[in-house]
Structure 1
Amino acid sequence: MPLHINTPLLESRPLSLAGGRSIWLKMDALQPPGSFKIRGIGAACEHHATGGKRRFVSSSGGNAGIAVAYAGHRLGIPVSVFVPETATELAKSLIRQEGAEVIVHGASWQEANERAMSALDTDTAFIHPFDDPLLWTGHATMIDEVVAEGLSFDAVAVSVGGGGLMSGVVEGLARNGLAHIPIVAVETEGAASLAASIKAGERIQLPAITSIATSLGARMVSERAFEVTQNSAVDSVVVSDRTAVEACLRFVDDHRVLVEPACGATLALAYGHAGALARFERVLMIVCGGATASLAQLQAWHAA
């Protein structure tokens, strides 16, 4: 039985009016652990549990770790999550809430990931937060669900960190005969490794993550994500932290759902960057969610 749920698909009147076109929302913020991550991570954890693994190890700035902890709890398998020093106290508490062990190591996800890799043994499955075909196949189910509801759309807007969500969306489009549909890939300033890579024509590693959207904090996107930009129609858009935070706060008022800036980056296309959507009539936005920022934190960022 899948660990994720089939999430609502709804047309947003507030975002449609703000963006000047029909905006549909795939509400993966409503997944039990708070983000889309459980789709792919749940699939990967079930795969490894069936294969006899008796422990899960992951590295995460927050949401992937929460998803692994949730999956481990549901499957009765112990979990250790290695998080960077930038991980919020809320993120760490949510991981521990599911009974998982939290180990803080390094200034960025890369350092935490290296430490996690050194903690593996033959009984342990490593659950990557974004770079694993098992994850992409799991994430692709969101497109399956949209297509099953009969919605036609001419673009998909997604937030990009390491590129796992975008890779899943591409797989979902392809297996539903929609490989021609363009993707609008959104990042925040200070975490825009995909935009830098597209500009350079090769994968670029950022020297550091300076965005508050730490869930987008992969200094280098996966090879698969970069490959997508070379083989599919991808529009890259970069928004400011402030714009992402403002979008989160407006979304709370408009839809009574709290998301973090990593998700707000995509919502900001409708609220303040409608030009990036000008050539599309009906846009599917993946409301990827994120549980690592509280309303008080969003308000503090906005006031700063």
Structure 2
Amino acid sequence: MGVNEFLQSSQEQSRPWVETPLRESYALSQAAGCRIFLKLETLQPSGSFKSRGIGHYLVKRVEELPAHINNPHIFCSSGGNAGLAAVHASRTLGVACTVVVPLTVKQLMVTKIKAAGAYEVLQHGDAWADADKYMREELMPQAGEAAIYAPPFDHPDIWAGNSSIMYEIATQMPDSPADAIICSVGGGGLLNGIAMALDDLRLSDSTTVVGVETAGAESLAAAVRAGQLVTLPRITSQATSLGCARVTQLTLDTAQRQNFKGVVLPDAEAAMGCWRLADDERIMVELACGVNVALCYDGRLEKALGRKVRPDEKIVIVLCGGSNVTVNMLSEWRKEYAYLEEPVVRKEDAKVQDLPEEVPEIPRRAPVHRQWNEEVLQLEAKL
């Protein structure tokens, strides 16, 4: 999604996603030692950024349907949030939607997907790949031509929809671009979209991207270490929304660029990020999102960046959202990981994934901040 497509989509009233606020957090800024901004994807119709990518993808698929198909049916396999986004998008588009999730997904998410208006919610297999295979091979053939497959992250149209986050940030932060963007990495759809938009906005040289994973779901970190895509034998992290055993090729390519930093934190750190965000900002997020917030505390951000931060530095955390959280879950995490209430920074708490020794040279244009300001002003004028 380039600037022109972003401008066009921003005028559409029936799109399945909304523009979200970018808010500076005083509490997190104090903790991190720099200016922290929160991109509130928690306010999307589905409660997560997935509304952007899945919504954009499904709008295109419905538009492309042959005229003789009058009863299309969306099928989405998911760890939870993509399925919820697909259901919300299907309601906007007036199309039925069936969601298949693995058996590891909690009943809380299954109930939320049903309540959102899903035609049917089924559970199958121990991992997303099992649920996806069952859906494509057993369920979709029954719908014939009417079936619309909605992948949770691995499609250019999904990445394009996710890229709209960065175009919004550009209009919301017009004076100068962010020094860094922090986002979670599961299959890589969000990271891919952010990287695509940074390239389009000519900010890849000046804005660092920090991709955060949880231990036990670190498929990107494993791929970076191996220098090629790898498949994790199983997912052991409690952050099930990040439970993708294999990232996309574009995600690995992005992680091998010089403006990328990769971080892997344990579930305990992710849980700490969740309850501290609830304390400091009164915002509830699940583990897959809380892991980003954890970087703000106890020097983890400087470890991730590999340098000291400046007080005037602007860093955006994409609060990707997610619905797999309740007040009781926050309370249980706080009890289980009480030792992090007064954390001691340990070397193993945050592991910055080093890039391979030889990184492919990627041609880039030098950032021109004056041109950036002019382009953003033109973008704002058109909105």
TM-score by length of 2: 0.77
1:103 matched to which residue of 2?
122
1:130-189 CA-to-partner distances (Å, cap 9, x unmatched) read 101111110111110110121521111110000000001011111212122221110011
Distance 1:221 1:132 in 2: 12
C-alpha distance in 2 between matches for 1:256 and 1:8: 15
2:43 maps to what in 1? 30
Identity level (%): 38
Corresponding position of 1:154: 179
Aligned residue in 1 for 2:369: none
Q: Which residue of 1 aligns with 2:287?
A: 261
Q: Counterpart in 2 of 1:174?
A: 199
The farther-off stretch of 166-175 and 145-154 is: 145-154
Q: In the alignment, which residue of structure 2 is the partner of 1:132?
A: 155
Match of 1:204 in 2: 230
Gaps of 5+ in 1: none
Once structures 1 and 2 are overlaid, which stretch shifts more, 136-145 or 278-287?
Answer: 278-287
Distance 1:240 1:3 in 2: 33
Aligned counterpart, 1:49: 62
Confirm or deny that 1:79 pairs with 2:111: no
Among 44, 57, 65, the alignment partner of 2:83 is 65
Q: Is residue 2:243 matched to residue 1:220?
A: no
Task: Pick from 255, 258, 262 the counterpart of residue 236 of structure 1.
Answer: 262
Gaps of at least 5 residues in structure 2 are 1-11, 337-383
Among 11, 16, 21, which residue is 1:3 paired with? 16
Rg comparison, structure with higher value: 2
Give the alignment partner of residue 141 of structure 1, picking from 142, 155, 164.
Answer: 164
**Which among 274, 278, 281 is matched to residue 301 of structure 2?**
274
Q: After TM superposition, which residue ranges in structure 1, 4 or more long, deviate above 4 angstroms?
A: none
Separation (CA, whole Å) in 1 of partners of 2:57 and 2:134: 21
How far 1:20 moved relative to its partner?
A: 1.0
What residue in structure 1 maps to residue 346 of structure 2? none
Give the match for residue 331 of structure 2. Answer: 299
The yes-or-no answer on 1:286 pairing with 2:314 is no
- CA deviation after TM superposition for structure 1 residue 230, in Å: 2.5
Query: Are positions 1:251 and 2:277 aligned together?
Result: yes
Residue type matched to 1:94 in 2? K
Asked if structure 2 preserves the Cα contact closer than 8 Å seen for 1:59 and 1:65, the reply is yes
Paired letter, 1:171: M
**1:40 aligned onto 2:63:** no
State the match for 1:94 in structure 2: 112
TM-score (normalised: structure 1): 0.96
The whole-number CA distance in structure 1 between the counterparts of 2:211 and 2:73 is 34
Please tell me the root mean square deviation across aligned C-alpha atoms, in Å: 1.4
Counterpart of 1:74 in structure 2: which amino acid? T
- Provide the C-alpha distance between the structure 2 equivalents of 1:123 and 1:32, rounded to a whole number of angstroms: 25
1:134–1:232 CA distance, 2 compared to 1 (3 A): farther
